[in-house]
Amino acid sequence: MLPCARGGGPPVAVIRLPLILAGTCLGTGLALLGGRYLLRQLPQPDPLLASPQLELLLHLAPDPSLRRQAALLLLGRAGEDPRRQRALLAGQGWGFDPLAAVVLKRDALAAASLGQVDSAERLWQQLLRRFANQPAAADGLYALGSQQPALRQQLLRRFAAHPAALAAAVEAGDAVHLARWGVRWPGARSLLQRNCERRGPIPTAAERDQLASGLAQLGDVEAAQRCLRGRAASPAGQLAIAQALVKGDSSETQRGEILLLQLAQRQPTTPLGREAARLLCEGRGPVNLQLVRQLPASLRAGGAVQARLALEPGLAGQRAAALGVLRRWPAEPAAWQLQWELARAALLAQRWRDAETLLAPELSRSLPGALAARQLFWLGFSQGQLGQQQAARRSWQAVLSQHPWGYYGWRAALRLGKGELALTPAADRPLPRPQWRPLNSGQHSDQLAVDRLWRLDQPLEAWEQWRLQSGGKAPETPRQLIVEGRLRRGVGDHWIGLGQLEQAELRLPPGDCQLTAALQASLAAVPMAASLERAGRGAGLAPSLLAAVARQESRFSAAVHSPAGAVGLLQLMPETAAELAGRPLAHHELEDPERNASLGASYLSQLLRQWRGNPLLAVASYNAGPGAVAGWRQPNPQRWPELWVEAIPYPETRLYVKKVLGNLWSLQLARQPHC
């Protein structure tokens, strides 16, 4: 019998039971709230998290989404072991989060590599059933489409710009699809050419125009014109053909400029017509000037045309006309080029006062950081020649505070007594390896999806998502160039990726510290760093100098061949490589990064010794040959090193010297923006 309270009240246990239940519920609720709070405080896992921490998350995290993220991050560290990959992905394909689609895709690929055909097919089918509109579904359509051609057609329609669709188009011989969505995809060029040579009703006139435009984008103007078979190209096709022609020899350039003029005259109010006029104004010479003067009045009133007209040789009041253009169109790239061309001419003629006027800071407030550094450096140089030493130092200090990287950062530092380069291994620092940083591609849901895949160390998935959402269109803004350049570098395409990052540097306006930091960190990353360090040390050469040359020569692309016949990472001519190696080398040997870096380091070391450690002369010789450089003695390279570079008669070598030594300074500076 239960004991009762005095006075006949209810049993004590009856009183305590609700209190116990209430306490239990309250404790459970507080624990849940505390758990949620703690989960919110946990950082999102990313590639910087060590593997032991990821393993703990994978096995012990109370949130299953965290366990899946940990599995995907560990997947990137599993190498090529498909069994390990499948073990990590087991049970992670749950729910409707798009990450489940990525899990199913990666699991199917791992199963296929193990020869588990039935398992792979079940995973692909599950992926298509549950995530038909996710980019990963494109890979499912491609894989299953090998036995079901209708699925390949779905792939081409639904995911036109996806790499899986481009691969399917190559296999199917669908040149028109490639011309529209992936003209630079491997195998596209030969397919476009073969399709253009076909007789009969296919391809149609519209398809021929598409094929011709694609060939023109690839620079194959003759094939593009043969493809048209005497028909006129569409306006877009004409623009593509003209763009390719103006990059050719003098006769081709003139043909291209005439096409640009005709297009601008026919469509003066359209974006195509305005772009044609802008491209025409990039030309030089008296014939080009005559064509520019024939542009419609509405186009002649624009900044690009007025900047070109202000470059006319012998123009009365040229400086006043140029200053007027700079003041009226400060954000016009053609005005920036006008300013530099006139200022460079004044500098080479040692007209310091004219140069100072043209380089005045108030004319350059809209310049991107890299171009502003050039303007400020030469302003300081002119001020120094005019005896304004304090003003010169302020200008050079402004370079170091605003844009310390690159060639002009180096020259400004030297002018201030602190820009010595390390040319030997002992004085050099380790090369910066690629390191993960957030992508920050934007705030749209598609962009956030790309960012999440990047954070989970899935660069290929992130790249495919980005390409699909952009429809394969080339990036336009500095931010787009930076994001796509970083994505391309993330999947190993350093050739295009670095090119896009360099374009962004020439367009990025000052003031955006976060974008500048992301750009400079990605530009500095050196793939194959260990090979370059070994080669540099072996030749007694600073590895950072070797990396600086490799970036400019091949953008770290080991298999690239130049039109002149140079091969590999350091772009060695086979004859030079044979002399260095003591025997002829096959192309596959020169494409080996280790061997190519070793031979390139030996050659560069020889040039440095020949020029007594002068990096300007050695680097110029690497590009133009020591014989040519020996004849460039004016201005004196010891007294006027910067003017000597500007006086190099080969524009390619002039740019090359500045790029390589700017790369070297940036690698050795090891300074990133502090935001």
> Long-range CB contacts (< 8 A, 24+ apart) of 121-129?
123/93, 126/93, 127/101
d(CA 393, CA 397): 6
Q: What is the mean pLDDT of residues 284-291?
A: 94
Q: What is the mean pLDDT of residues 279-301?
A: 95
Residue 553 annotated as catalytic: yes
Instruction: Return the CATH number of 313-418, one of 1.25.40.10, 4.10.520.10, 2.40.50.100, 1.10.3720.10.
Output: 1.25.40.10
Residue 37 has what pLDDT? 46
Asked if pLDDT for residue 38 goes beyond 60, the answer is no
Q: What is the mean pLDDT of residues 287-298?
A: 96
Angstrom CA distances, 470 to 153, 166, 330, stand at 21, 15, 30
Mean pLDDT in the chain? 91
Angstrom CA distances, 467 to 128, 384, 472, 485, stand at 20, 49, 5, 12
Residue 153, classified by CB atoms within 10 Å of its CB into exposed (0-12), middle (13-18) or buried (19+), is middle
Asked if pLDDT for residue 6 goes beyond 80, the answer is no
Extract the tokens encoding 620.
């110029």
Q: What is the mean pLDDT of residues 398-412?
A: 95
Residue 631 has what pLDDT? 94
Residue 26 has what pLDDT? 58
List 257, 533, 553, 642, catalytic entry: 553
The full set of domain ranges for the chain reads: 51-159, 313-418, 445-524, 529-669
Any idea which of 183-192, 527-536, 566-575, 663-672 has the lowest mean pLDDT? 663-672
Cβ(483)–Cβ(466) below 8 Å:
yes
Q: What is the mean pLDDT of residues 466-491?
A: 93
Asked if pLDDT for residue 49 goes beyond 90, the answer is yes
Q: What percent of the chain has pLDDT over 90?
A: 80
Q: What is the mean pLDDT of residues 291-297?
A: 96
Residue 81 has what pLDDT? 94
Cβ(483)–Cβ(439) below 8 Å:
yes
Confidence of residue 303 (pLDDT cuts 50, 70, 90): very high
Confidence of residue 657 (pLDDT cuts 50, 70, 90): very high
Extract the tokens encoding 665.
């300074």
Residue 501 has what pLDDT? 97
- Of the candidates 590, 571, 595, the residue with the CA atom closest to the CA atom of residue 660: 571
Instruction: Return the CATH number of 529-669, one of 3.40.50.2020, 1.10.443.10, 1.10.530.10, 1.25.40.20.
Output: 1.10.530.10
Residue 229 has what pLDDT? 86
Confidence of residue 658 (pLDDT cuts 50, 70, 90): very high
- Total residues belonging to the chain: 675
pLDDT digit string (tens) for 330-351?
999 999 999 999 999 999 999 9
Residue 388 has what pLDDT? 98
Confidence of residue 21 (pLDDT cuts 50, 70, 90): low
The pTM (predicted TM-score) of the whole model is 0.89
Residue 509 has what pLDDT? 86
Residue 177 has what pLDDT? 95
Q: Is 161 helix (H, G, I), strand (E, B) or coil?
A: coil
Residue 425 dihedral angles phi and psi, to the nearest 5°? -60, -35
Q: Do domains 313-418 and 529-669 have the same CATH topology?
A: no
Higher pLDDT, 215 or 28: 215
Q: What is the mean pLDDT of residues 640-650?
A: 97
Angstrom CA distances, 581 to 74, 591, 594, stand at 42, 14, 13
pLDDT digit string (tens) for 79-131?
889 999 999 999 999 999 999 999 999 999 999 999 999 999 999 999 999 99
d(CA 300, CA 187): 42
In 512-563, alpha helices (H) = 513-524, 529-538, 543-554
Confidence of residue 202 (pLDDT cuts 50, 70, 90): low
Residue 34 has what pLDDT? 46
Residue 130 has what pLDDT? 97
Question: Within 13 Å of residue 596, how many CA atoms lie on the same side as its CB?
Answer: 29
Residue 567 dihedral angles phi and psi, to the nearest 5°? -130, 140
DSSP tally for the chain: helices H, then strands E: 39, 0
Extract the tokens encoding 416.
């201030």
